[in-house]
């Protein structure tokens, strides 16, 4: 006979639970594997009425046989696999032994399991390593039990198992928080559903019941961050989900202040559905607090995961503090416990090892040399095939596998049982979820209501006929697409000519979203239709109302939900609820782009400042610098200039030119003063110019911006309204007829105003806005709430209400009822509650505000400067060109008329003209040189070049240079024999032999040259 072989396909089996020592949570006296659960057509194959591990043993897919020498096939004995358990609680040891005995009792088994267990005391990594390498060193498989707070144990075991290429099967049905893909080289499989699948089932349940608004109570339980992320993903996918609030608490470390804060947050919850993500102990703490503040019996539905019931000692009996009607999602079945999960894990292990070993696969057992310590993990890793786990996983990728796992390591396509606490205080199954499908055996509303202490009984169903009217943004009307109205839109009937008499549209907006919330909270159904004549309502001379008010007065509708203004006249014929929007009368005007004045560049300073700077400061400082320069101490050349023996170059005009250049920082050629006093004065002027330019530039920007133009209206009594024809052209304004605005104008401001504006009335605020922008209308009078929205949504942001939203005849919008309606009080209280909890403010922020809202900073934008902004600068440039042409004409007049007259009278400035202008001085001085025997510039040129027309350009340049030298020599010879320096130089010569001869130099530098006569000539 063939002896059993000790097969060592080392497998790490991980098991988790929240059961503490002495509190196993198992049913006393229950027979494992005989729990029968109902199944539906949507239940997967491995969810049979009995658990796969015991009652329905899987038949061996291929008998483990061996062929003898005689050709006979002989069945091999089951192979031995030692399975060790590492538990955090001793309560697992007995159930573990019982389950192994059940597996070994199967007649068709191919693997015999030998159990061994260790209970952890310190829960440290070293203790786990000692257990694996000590008492369990010969084990071929391991079982590990960890509670909800032992996430690090999962991570450590998964890390070590992945390093050693060991498959890991984890049982963590209550807290599936560790994702196998989060660890590198992990080989972790979990008999549980992932948080992603649990969240999906939760949202399918909420959606099926219409609980789209919810609140979340959670602790920092392992996986809370992933859960929050999944919730956020669902909310981003659809606008129908609304998160009321998220409350994070820590019951274990709660103090007086944290408890008070949680209690306050609980009171503020308005959502019907409250989701719990916490442990059993935390849930009890929350329910006790909710009971103490009286909200446990409020209008809430409490929903949680299996983690809430995982630690219940007497499961399925619920704790006393748990509210009746509490809804939970349980993995697989209502009473699926850790005991059943262990049974399924062993079934998975048995099937995996059977098929794996039949393919002649061997996984060598680690050799520890009989020691109690693991000295070399690297050597242990090398004993295992890196693809052993992949071959093992091939078993569970088959469609007929006992259980399938996804890439994340969790059960693929899990199912959930929906359980609720019944009147007996027991968790009872009421439905199921599988692959996105909710199957309810009983109505949840009926279940919750009948419990008696969670929700008040729902009132008898009521159905209302509701009239409304199209007016953006309170009621938008659109075509119905794909046979449904998307988002928060509701179906509404619109009358048409011919059969069938109406069509179905989709109505949305502020009022429709308010209607949806009212229907949800006050429990009624409705049918909405649009008023046939499209009017709000006006009382005719015959005493009959039309429009929306007419339908309410005639009781064609039970209520009107629209932007219906509350006023005294309507209040006599119908009732209104408390206002849900404050409004009144306002005026909408168009702000047009203005223009910049041509003198805008002068606006930063007033007239007197400009006169002071340019007439007094500039010329006064120029004159001061000239005087300081003229009176400076004179030696050398300065002495000769003062004596009139040499031309003076720094004139009054030179000083003025210097002051202008320094003031504006222009890089222009200018003569600089040489005296210390005048230089210091020029420096002070430069500092003044810096301050002036900086101040001017800072102020200039504000005056170069285009000023917007808008109608200046002070109110409804403004002369433009009371006497529109008094201006030219006449002032044009209007409103929407047959509304409260028209009635208010007639009653308070006179019929003459109403008669005039009738010719400019519009059918809607939208058409009036277009008329304003096309300048067909100057102002539009209407409800302030609507006009604010029109101005905020204008693409050009060119519309604005006067006085930054100033309101006249303040009132509000309310829901209309027939006179003495019993519904008024009920709706009043609900609207007041919406105002208190901020719901109405949220609707206003969503529907009534736009990008151009007047409280925003849209106007504070920077636009590029265009030609209109710089028009004044261009005008200044043109003026300067005109003045330059005038100066040019004056110069020609001087040289053609004034200069010859002065020369004929032989007026000699005797050097004084050089103090004013060197140009005037030279023109007169050169002209008078003819009477002194000197040739003028023209005569010299004629004598030296009688035939210049026949000379080349190079010769002409030589002649011109000779002309200049000759003129300078002639001017020098006309002066004193001892003053022989040229006017542009600061050197002079002495006759040879007198005074030692040579060259004398004063304080200014110059360059000398030798004349043809051998005398030294210098030039500055």
pLDDT tens for 757-799 read 888 888 888 888 888 888 888 888 888 888 888 888 887 787 8
| Other residues' Cβ atoms within 10 Å of the Cβ of residue 499 | 6
108 is written with which tokens? 């068709």
Angstrom CA distances, 657 to 43, 124, 678, 693, 991, stand at: 101, 92, 15, 18, 41
More confident residue, 329 or 715: 329
Number of domains forming the structure of the chain: 5
Angle at 349 between CA 346 and CA 350, to 5 degrees: 85
pLDDT for 203: 92
The CATH number covering residue 470 comes to 3.40.190.10
Summarised one tens digit per residue, pLDDT across range 973-1001 is 555 444 444 444 444 444 444 444 444 44
Residue 769 belongs to some domain of the structure: no
C-alpha span between 782 and 797 (Å, rounded): 19
Ranked by mean pLDDT, which of 12-21, 134-143, 177-186, 558-567 comes out on top? 558-567
The pLDDT value given to residue 42: 36
pLDDT in tens, 519-550: 888 888 889 999 998 889 888 888 889 999 99
Dist. CA 138–CA 368, nearest whole Å: 9
209 and 327 share one domain: yes
Same-domain status, 84 and 132: yes
pTM: 0.44
Place of tokens 């890390």: 159
Residue 618 has pLDDT above 90, yes or no: no
How confident is the model over 926-957, as pLDDT tens digits? Answer: 555 444 433 444 444 444 445 555 556 666 66
Which of 350, 385, 413 marks a domain boundary?
413
Structural domain contains residue 447: yes
For residue 333, give the nearest of 417, 410, 411 by alpha carbon: 417
Asked if residue 573 and residue 617 are part of one domain, the reply reads no
Coil/strand/helix, residue 907: coil
Annotated binding site: 565, 570, 740-741, 783
Whether 385 shows a pLDDT value over 60: the answer reads no
Predicted pLDDT at 913 = 61
Residue 515 has a pLDDT of 92
How large is the angle between the packed helices 765-773 and 784-793, nearest 10 degrees?
50
d(CA 674, CA 456): 103
The answer as to whether 550 is a domain residue is yes
Q: Which residue positions form the known binding site for L-glutamate?
A: 565, 570, 740-741, 783
**Does residue 564 lie within any of the structural domains?**
yes
- Residue 664's pLDDT band, with cuts at 50, 70 and 90, is confident
- CA nearest to 979, candidates 640, 535, 734, 557: 640
Same domain? For 331 and 341 the reply is: no
**Is there a single domain that holds both residue 404 and residue 435?**
no
Q: What pLDDT does residue 933 have? A: 38
Same-domain status, 544 and 679: no
Secondary element (H or E) of residue 824 = helix 823-837
Q: How far apart are CA 587 and CA 800, in angstroms?
A: 8
**Would you call 724 helix, strand, or coil by DSSP?**
helix
pLDDT at 694 > cutoff 50: yes
Say whether both 330 and 342 belong to one domain. Answer: no
- Claim to verify: residue 432 and residue 314 sit in the same structural domain: yes
What does the block give as tokens for 957?
Answer: 């340049």
Region label for 770, one of left (φ > 0), alpha (ψ between -120 and 50) or beta (otherwise): alpha
What is the 3 state secondary structure string of 734-774?
ECCCCCHHHHHHHHHHCHHHHHHHHHHCCCCHHHHHHHHHC
The per-residue DSSP string of 125-162 comes to: HHHHHHHHHTTTTT-SEEEE---TT-HHHHHHHHHHHH
CATH number assigned to the domain comprising residue 179:
3.40.50.2300
CB 277 within 8 A of CB 174: no
**pLDDT for the residue 512:** 93
Do 303 and 289 lie in one domain? The reply is: yes
pLDDT band at 514 (very low <50, low <70, confident <90, very high): very high
Q: What percent of the chain has pLDDT over 70?
A: 62
pLDDT at 528: 93
Residue 328 falls within a domain, yes or no?
yes
Q: Taking residues 84-110, what's their average pLDDT?
A: 76
**Is pLDDT above 90 for 853?**
no
pLDDT at 162: 66
Q: Say whether both 690 and 619 belong to one domain.
A: yes
Residues 156 and 172 in one domain: yes
Paired with 506 in beta bridges are: 478, 491
* CB neighbour class for 161 (10 Å; exposed up to 12, middle 13-18, buried from 19): buried
615 and 639: one domain? yes
**Encoded tokens for 295:** 């909200």
* Final residue of a structural domain among 653, 682, 704: 704
CA nearest to 336, candidates 313, 294, 306: 306
> Which tens digits make up the pLDDT trace of 542-600?
888 999 999 999 989 999 999 998 988 898 899 999 999 988 888 888 876 655 666 77
592 contacts 708 by C-beta, under 8 angstroms = yes
Say if 914 falls within a structural domain. no
Q: List Cβ neighbours of 891 (8 Å cut-off, separation of 6 or more).
A: none
Torsion of CA 494, 498, 499, 502, to 10 degrees: 0
* 120 occurs within a structural domain: yes
**Cβ-based neighbours of 649, under 8 Å, separated by 6 or more:** 671, 914, 918
Examine the fold and report which residue of 704, 732, 752 is the final residue of a domain before the chain moves on.
Answer: 704
Q: Tokens 């599988």 — which residue?
A: 434
Residue 491: give the domain boundaries: 463-580
Residue 116 domain flag: yes
């Amino acid at each position: 006979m063939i002896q059993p072989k000790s097969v060592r396909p080392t497998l790490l089996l991980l098991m988790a639970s929240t059961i503490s020592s002495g509190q196993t949570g198992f049913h006393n006296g229950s027979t494992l594997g005989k729990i029968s659960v109902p199944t539906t057509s949507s239940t997967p194959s491995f969810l049979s009425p009995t658990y796969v591990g015991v009652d329905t043993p899987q038949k061996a897919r291929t008998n483990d046989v061996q062929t003898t020498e005689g050709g006979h096939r002989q069945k091999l004995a089951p192979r031995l696999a030692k399975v060790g358990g590492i538990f955090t609680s001793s309560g697992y040891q007995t159930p573990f032994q019982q389950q192994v005995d059940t597996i070994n009792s199967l007649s068709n088994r191919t693997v015999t399991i030998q159990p061994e267990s260790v209970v952890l005391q310190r829960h440290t990594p070293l203790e786990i390593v000692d257990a694996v390498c000590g008492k369990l060193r010969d084990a071929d498989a391991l079982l590990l039990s960890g509670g909800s707070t032992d996430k690090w144990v999962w991570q450590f075991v998964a890390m070590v198992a992945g390093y050693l290429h060991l498959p890991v099967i984890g049982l963590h049905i209550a807290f599936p928080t560790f994702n196998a893909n989060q660890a590198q080289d992990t080989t972790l499989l979990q008999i549980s559903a992932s948080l992603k699948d649990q969240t999906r089932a939760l949202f399918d349940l909420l959606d099926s019941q219409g609980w789209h608004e919810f609140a979340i109570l959670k602790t920092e339980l392992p996986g809370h961050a992933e859960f929050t992320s999944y919730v956020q993903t669902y909310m981003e996918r659809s606008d129908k989900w609304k998160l009321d609030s998220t409350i994070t608490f820590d019951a274990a470390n709660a103090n007086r202040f944290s408890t008070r804060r949680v209690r306050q947050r609980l009171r503020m919850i308005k959502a019907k559905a409250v989701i719990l993500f916490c442990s059993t102990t935390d849930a009890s703490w929350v329910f006790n607090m909710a009971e103490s503040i009286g909200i446990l019996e409020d209008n809430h539905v409490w929903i949680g995961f299996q983690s809430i019931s995982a630690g219940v000692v007497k499961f399925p009996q619920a704790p006393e503090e748990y509210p009746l009607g509490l809804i939970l999602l349980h993995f697989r079945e209502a009473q699926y416990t850790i005991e059943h999960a262990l049974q399924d894990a062993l079934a998975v292990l048995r099937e995996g090892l059977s098929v794996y070993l039949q393919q002649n696969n061997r996984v060598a057992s680690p050799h520890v040399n009989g020691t109690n310590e693991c000295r070399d993990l690297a050597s242990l890793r090398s004993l295992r095939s890196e693809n052993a786990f992949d071959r093992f996983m091939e078993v569970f990728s088959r469609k007929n596998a006992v259980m399938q796992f996804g890439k994340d390591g969790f059960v693929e396509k899990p199912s959930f049982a929906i359980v609720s606490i019944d009147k007996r205080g027991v968790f009872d199954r009421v439905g199921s979820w599988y692959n996105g499908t909710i199957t309810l055996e009983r109505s949840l509303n009926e279940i919750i209501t009948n419990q008696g202490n969670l929700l008040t009984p729902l009132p008898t169903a009521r159905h209302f006929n509701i009239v409304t009217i199209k007016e953006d943004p309170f009621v938008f009307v659109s075509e119905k697409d794909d046979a449904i109205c998307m988002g928060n839109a509701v179906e509404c009937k619109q009358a048409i000519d011919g059969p069938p008499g109406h069509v179905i549209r989709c109505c949305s907006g502020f009022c429709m979203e308010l209607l949806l919330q009212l229907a949800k909270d006050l429990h009624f159904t409705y049918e909405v239709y649009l008023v046939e004549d499209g009017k709000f309502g006006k009382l005719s001379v015959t005493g009959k109302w039309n429009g929306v008010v007419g339908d309410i007065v005639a009781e064609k509708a039970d209520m009107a939900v629209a932007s219906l203004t509350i006023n005294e006249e309507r209040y006599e014929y119908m009732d209104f609820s408390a206002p849900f929007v404050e409004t009144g009368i306002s005026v909408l005007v168009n702000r047009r782009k203005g223009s910049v004045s041509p003198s805008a560049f002068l606006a930063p300073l007033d007239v007197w400042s400009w006169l002071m700077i340019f007439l007094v400061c500039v010329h006064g400082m120029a004159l001061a610098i000239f005087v300081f320069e003229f009176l400076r101490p004179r030696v050398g050349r300065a002495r000769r200039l003062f004596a009139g023996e040499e031309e003076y170059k720094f004139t009054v005009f030179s000083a003025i030119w210097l002051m202008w250049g320094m003031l504006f920082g222009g890089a222009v050629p200018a003569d600089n003063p040489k005296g210390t006093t005048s230089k210091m004065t020029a420096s002070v002027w430069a500092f003044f110019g810096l301050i002036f330019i900086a101040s001017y530039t800072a102020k200039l920007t504000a005056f170069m911006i285009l000023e917007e133009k808008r109608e200046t209206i002070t109110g409804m009594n403004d002369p433009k309204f009371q006497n529109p024809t008094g201006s030219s052209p006449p002032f044009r304004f209007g409103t929407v007829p047959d509304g409260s605005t028209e009635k208010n104008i007639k009653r308070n401001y006179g019929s003459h105003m109403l008669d005039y504006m009738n010719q400019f009335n519009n059918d809607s605020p939208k058409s009036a806005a277009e008329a304003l922008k096309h300048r067909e209308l100057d102002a539009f009078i209407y409800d302030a709430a609507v006009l604010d929205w029109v101005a905020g949504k204008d693409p050009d942001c060119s519309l604005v209400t006067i006085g930054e939203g100033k309101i006249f005849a303040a009132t509000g919008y309310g829901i209309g009822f027939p006179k003495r309606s019993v519904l008024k009080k009920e709706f009043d209280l609900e609207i007041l509650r919406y105002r208190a909890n901020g719901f109405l403010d949220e609707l206003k922020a969503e529907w009534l505000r736009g990008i151009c809202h007047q409280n925003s900073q849209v106007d504070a934008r920077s636009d590029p400067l265009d030609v209109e902004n710089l028009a004044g600068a261009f005008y200044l440039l043109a003026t300067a060109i005109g003045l330059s042409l005038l100066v040019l004409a004056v110069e020609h007049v001087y040289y053609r008329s004034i200069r010859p007259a002065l020369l004929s009278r032989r007026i000699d400035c005797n050097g004084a003209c050089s103090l004013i202008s060197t140009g005037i001085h030279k023109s007169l001085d050169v002209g008078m040189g003819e009477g002194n025997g000197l040739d003028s510039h023209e005569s010299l040129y004629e004598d030296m070049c009688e035939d210049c027309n026949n000379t080349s350009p190079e010769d002409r340049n030589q002649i011109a240079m000779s002309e200049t030298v000759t003129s300078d020599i002639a001017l020098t010879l006309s002066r004193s024999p001892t003053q022989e320096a040229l006017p542009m130089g600061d050197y002079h010569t002495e006759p040879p032999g007198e005074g030692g001869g040579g060259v004398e130099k004063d304080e200014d530098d110059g360059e000398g040259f030798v004349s043809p006569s051998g005398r030294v000539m210098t030039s500055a």
